[in-house]
Amino acid sequence: MPTYHAKVFVTLKPSILDPQGRTVERALSHLDYANVSGVRVGKYIELTLSGERAEVESQLADIVENVLSNPIMENARWELEAVPMQEGREVAGA
Amino acid sequence: MPTYHAKVFVTLKPSILDPQGRTVERALSHLDYANVSGVRVGKYIELTLSGERAEVESQLADIVENVLSNPIMENARWELEAVPMQEGREVAGA
């Protein structure tokens, strides 16, 4: 069965305050990186799905919307990439 | 002064256990997504830097290594993209 590697990016909507990002920004300004602004901290989730592409895509859209993100406060986008058969069991380099 | 938009991806090294990812994976299997595996939860950070490209790149490499990630346990990679001048103050759509 084909295997797909998915990358999911979840970010707070621009109108939502991001205290974690503000904290990072303040820390950076104390470290003399005064030219840094607009720090926003989101989530980056990797997962592997097996199945036919169309089915996997619809599953992933469901998972991203219902499990991995909160559509009220967050935006989410995802990328799907087929895993070549012979590499299906390999682990990406450290 | 030119402005750059940076995207930083921080992931746990493959050899490090990811309890958050395991929890998501278990939740998904209870929701009948049994074909999902290898869930890893990382961070996705967006920030804006102003300055000349070479300087910004070296700053960003420092920030990613010393502030945004723990190189013992995490891998980090980043992308840098110039912000067109007239859009420098605009906020990305919701």
pLDDT along chain B (94 residues), means of 10: 95 95 95 94 96 95 95 96 71 46
The minimal CB distance from A44 to the residues B11, B36, B48 is found for: B11
Specify the length of chain B in residues. Answer: 94
Q: Which of A38, A18, A35, A30 is nearest to B60 (CA)?
A: A35
Interacting residues of B72 by C-beta distance below 8 A, sequence separation 6+? none
Give yes or no for A63 touching B (CB within 8 A): yes
The pLDDT value recorded for residue B89 is: 53
Q: Using a CB-CB distance cutoff of 8 angstroms, which residues of chain B are in contact with residue A58?
A: none
B36 and A48 in contact by Cβ < 8 A? yes
pTM to 2 decimals? Answer: 0.85
A48 and B33 in contact by Cβ < 8 A? no
- ipTM (interface predicted TM): 0.83
